[in-house]
Amino acid sequence: NCRTHKYGWNNYFTNEYGWNNCCTHEYGWNNCFTNKFGWNNCFIHEYGWNNCCTHEYGWNNCCTHKYGWNNCCTNEYGWNNCCTNEYGWNNCCTHKYGWNNCFIHEYGWNNCFIHEYVKNNCCTH
């Protein structure tokens, strides 16, 4: 459960079960995370800064973004909880069940709301 890296900075980690818990990245900065079972918890990103989500089961909880700033949502079940946006600012909604809780917006400022049961609980403006 270790990888060899061009520069060797922060590019391996240990997980309880050792499954899929290494990432390879040109620079290796902060582009891995650990979750309970170690499934789907690595990805490749151009810079690797803050562009992962952590979820109990690791389903669909990583996003790839040009810069990786704030472009993930975390919800209870981890379904459909990532958004890709050019800038990635505030362009996700968090909902208890994760239905339709992401959207794409040019800038993504202040255009989400949260409701316990309503599906389609994001607005695009």
For the chain, the domain total comes to 1
With beta carbons less than 8 A apart as the criterion, state whether 103 and 119 touch: no
- Is a pLDDT exceeding 50 seen at residue 81? no
Query: In this predicted structure, what is the pLDDT of residue 24?
Result: 47
Q: Are 43 and 23 in contact (CB under 8 A)?
A: yes
The pLDDT tens digits for 42-75 are 544 444 444 444 445 544 444 544 444 444 554 4
pLDDT at 93 exceeding the cut of 50: yes
* Cβ–Cβ under 8 Å, residues 97 and 76: yes
Q: How confident is the model at residue 117 (pLDDT cuts 50, 70, 90)?
A: low
Distance CA 23, CA 77 (A): 24
Domain around 112: 5-124
Q: What is the pTM of this model?
A: 0.23
Q: In 3-state terms, what secondary structure has residue 112?
A: strand
The span from the CA of 37 to the CA of 110, in Å, is 34
- H helix or E strand, kind and range, residue 1: none
pLDDT in tens, 6-37: 554 444 444 455 444 455 445 544 445 445 55
Closest CA to 60 of 12, 118, 102: 102
Report CA dihedral (44, 48, 53, 56) to the nearest 10 degrees.
60
